[in-house]
């Protein structure tokens, strides 16, 4: 493979495309709200598809709404070298989480066209549906179906808080494609992403060579007490579901701290019923998100939480139903893909370090069916899942160049 100076993406074009996509669902604080399978998600998808068609790609959409934009290889029967991420965001999301990985893939294809480079394997840029797991739980569900972690019926039946399913919403926005989900070989998969944490920026590293991703366990809890009047009901006999839930929030935080420094534990969602200021809450729905790179430690977090919840339920005179709705084990990425990223980084002279992903990514599931790894770039102050999420254009550019070289190494440059 040439190591010539002209083997480079067009960083300005990638940045401009990111800024153009960020107009769809732009928020007042400079972020994005483009929840999965909303009209705004459709707009983002339509723009991506239009750009890919203009770059000469063929488009295929599967039954989970995953979009594959393909640049043919000289031996087009070979399995593709694939890259991509997601276009959906959190409700108060940023402009880069996911979108960067998708548009870096498109930029690789555009650059291959500009540079007149043919590859033996086809190259594909993919948009995975509903990576965030915000509107529809769990996260990474469509890449999970692709990789066989979930069956199709499970994926299509995931429902939002209003009871709308992914299947219905895919039909509504016109992205319930005809293709079978998965079941085809991928030669290698790379995902480029902002780090979403503070390590690379603090250590002044331009590239994170991602070796592993930590595991996650997600739970839904229903805390049931008894609604009663806020005035006449004496304190000692109350069955206050919100008090029980609040104690669980504190417990979850302690579980995270007890599994430090890398364990993380979050209650991110709570619905209080009836949510009236002079009614003692009778019911709370809440979620727990546990993360750890070590499966045994993740199990230990599960045990500590369950024991603590039982004690809180008794002390608070409430009933608590705990359901684990998702378990994504820690992922070691493929050594040859990690090495391809490390080699590309070294060729380009970027400062780098190996890093474990704290966030979940579609690459975690795809690693079950294809040699996979990830490329991280820093983000400002390590902030993500926040409208102020930001990255410097030179970091965006650097990650794209590493992706181009890593993909070429796997796709086989023929001209």
* CB-CB contact of 403 with 105 (8 Å): yes
CB closer to ligand GLV, 132 vs 389: 132
Q: Which is nearer to Mn ion, 32 or 401 (CB)?
A: 32
In whole angstroms, the minimum distance from the beta carbon of 84 to ligand GLV comes to: 15
Min CB(135)–ligand GLV separation in Å = 12
Nearest approach in angstroms of CB 89 to ligand GLV is 9
Helix (H, G, I), strand (E, B) or coil at 274: coil
Q: What is the Cβ-side half-sphere exposure of residue 39, based on CA atoms within 13 angstroms? A: 0
- Number of residue whose CB is nearest Mn ion: 98
Structure tokens at 28: 């007042």
Choose the one of Mn ion, ligand GLV, none that binds residue 387, judging by a C-beta under 5 to 8 angstroms depending on kind.
Answer: none
41 binds, among ligand GLV, Mn ion, none (CB under 5 to 8 A by kind): none
- Nearest to Mn ion of 84, 256 (CB atom): 84
- What angle, 0 to 180 degrees and rounded to 10, lies between the N-to-C axes of helices 295-316 and 241-258? 150
* Nearest alpha-carbon partner for 273 in 255, 261, 286, 262: 286
From the list 327, 266, 329, the residue with the least C-alpha distance to 295 is 329
User: How far apart are CB 308 and Mn ion at their closest, in Å?
Assistant: 28
92/35 Cα distance (integer angstroms) = 10
Among Mn ion, ligand GLV, none, partner that 139 touches (CB below 5 to 8 angstroms by kind): ligand GLV
Residue 330, contacted partner among Mn ion, ligand GLV, none, CB below 5-8 A by kind: none
Contacts of 54 (CB under 8 A, 6+ apart): none
88 binds, among ligand GLV, Mn ion, none (CB under 5 to 8 A by kind): none
Task: Using the minimum distance from each CB to ligand GLV, give the nearer residue, 80 or 94.
Answer: 94
At closest approach, how far in Å is the CB of 88 from Mn ion? 9
Partner from ligand GLV, Mn ion, none contacting 281, C-beta within 5 to 8 A by type: none
Binding to Mn ion, residues 44-103 (CB under 5 A): 97-98
Rounded least distance, CB 22 to ligand GLV, Å: 17
Residue 256 vs 360, nearer CB to ligand GLV: 360
Nearest to 214 by CA among 383, 326, 369, 329: 329
Of 125, 12, 158, the residue nearest 59 (C-alpha)? 125
360 binds, among Mn ion, ligand GLV, none (CB under 5 to 8 A by kind): ligand GLV
Name the strand (E) or helix (H) holding 106: helix 99-115
Q: What span, in angstroms and rounded, lies between the C-alpha atoms of 175 and 46?
A: 10
Which DSSP string corresponds to 167-229? HHHHHHHT---SBPSS-S--SEEEEEEE--SSHHHHTT-SEEEEEEE-EEEEEEEEEE---EE
Beta carbon of residue 132, minimum distance to ligand GLV (angstroms, whole number): 5
Please tell me the count of residues contacting Mn ion according to CB under 5 A.
2
Q: How is residue 69 annotated by DSSP?
A: E
Q: Which does 342 bind (CB under 5 to 8 A by kind): Mn ion, ligand GLV, none?
A: none
Instruction: Write down the least CB distance from residue 265 to Mn ion, Å.
Output: 18
| Contact set with ligand GLV (CB under 6 A) | 132, 139, 359-360
Question: Where on the chain is the footprint of Mn ion (CB under 5 A)?
Answer: 97-98
């Amino acid at each position: 493979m040439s190591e010539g100076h002209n083997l480079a993406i067009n960083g300005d074009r990638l940045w401009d495309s990111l800024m153009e996509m960020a107009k769809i669902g732009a928020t007042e604080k400079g972020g994005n709200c483009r929840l999965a399978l909303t009209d705004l998600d459709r707009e983002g998808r339509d723009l991506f598809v239009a750009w890919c068609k203009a770059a000469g790609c063929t488009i295929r959409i599967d039954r989970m709404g995953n979009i594959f934009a393909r640049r043919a290889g000289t031996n087009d029967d070979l399995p593709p070298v694939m890259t991509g991420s997601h276009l959906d965001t959190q409700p108060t999301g940023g402009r880069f989480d996911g979108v960067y990985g998708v548009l870096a893939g498109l930029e690789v294809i555009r650059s291959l066209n500009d540079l007149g480079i043919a590859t033996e394997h086809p190259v594909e840029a993919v948009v995975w549906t509903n990576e965030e797991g915000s509107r529809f739980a769990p996260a990474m569900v469509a890449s999970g179906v692709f990789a066989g972690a979930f069956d199709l019926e499970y994926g299509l039946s995931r429902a939002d808080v209003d009871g709308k399913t992914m299947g219905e919403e895919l039909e509504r926005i016109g992205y319930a494609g005809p293709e079978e989900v998965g079941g085809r070989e991928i030669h290698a998969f790379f995902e480029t992403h902002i780090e979403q944490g503070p390590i690379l920026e603090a250590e002044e590293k331009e590239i994170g060579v991602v070796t592993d991703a930590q595991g996650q366990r997600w739970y839904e809890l229903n805390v049931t007490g008894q609604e009663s009047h806020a005035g006449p009901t004496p304190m000692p006999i109350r069955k206050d579901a919100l008090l029980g839930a609040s104690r669980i929030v504190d417990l979850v935080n302690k579980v995270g701290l007890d599994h430090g420094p890398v364990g993380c534990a979050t209650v991110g969602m709570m619905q209080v019923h009836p949510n009236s200021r002079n009614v003692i809450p009778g019911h709370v729905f809440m979620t727990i998100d546990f993360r750890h790179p070590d499966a045994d430690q993740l199990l230990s977090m599960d045990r500590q939480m369950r024991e603590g919840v039982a004690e809180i339920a008794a002390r608070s005179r409430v009933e608590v139903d705990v359901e684990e709705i998702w378990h994504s084990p820690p992922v070691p990425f493929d050594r040859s893909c990690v090495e391809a990223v490390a080699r590309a980084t070294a060729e380009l002279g970027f400062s780098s370090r190996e890093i474990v992903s704290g966030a979940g990514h579609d690459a975690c599931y795809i690693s079950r069916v294809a040699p996979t790894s990830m490329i991280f770039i820093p983000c400002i102050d390590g902030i993500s899942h926040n409208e102020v999420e930001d990255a410097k254009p030179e970091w965006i550019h650097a990650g794209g160049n590493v992706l181009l070289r890593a993909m070429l190494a796997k796709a086989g440059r023929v001209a």
